[in-house]
Amino acid sequence: MNAPAIMRLSHLKQGERAYIAELEDSDLTEKLLEMGCLPGEEVVVEHVAPLGGPIAISVVGYKFSLRKSDASHILVQQVPLELV
C-alpha cells in the first residue's frame, strides 16, 4: 500500500481530512504554529468559499479561516477514505 501523496491544503475540498506534513516558510508560519498547525495534526476542511475565497478549517478543536494563498504553504497528507 502506497503512502498518501503530499499535497497543499489549499487543494483539499470541503469535508476532506488530512494530516499536516510540513509548513513551508512564509510570513504566516509562526502564527500557524501558534494556532496548532503542527506537523502530525489532523486538519479538516470545514468550508470552501466560492470564487477563490478563503477556506475554513479545524485543527485541534479550533476553527479558523485562511486565504487560499496562505493555505498553500501548508503541506498535508490526505487521509485515505477507508480510514475516515
- pLDDT per residue over 30-39, tens digit each? 999 988 899 9
Asked if the model's pLDDT at residue 65 lies above 90, the reply is yes
Which residues, including other chains, have CB under 8 Å from residue 55's CB and lie 6 or more apart? 9, 10, 12, 45, 46, 47, 48, 49, 65, 66, 68, 71
pLDDT of residue 79: 76
Phi and psi, residue 10, nearest 5°: -65, -15
Prediction pTM value: 0.86
Average pLDDT across the chain, whole number: 89
Stronger pLDDT, 81 or 43, i.e. the higher one: 43
Grade residue 84 by pLDDT with cuts at 50, 70 and 90: low
Domain architecture of the chain: domains with CATH: 6-83 (2.30.30.90)
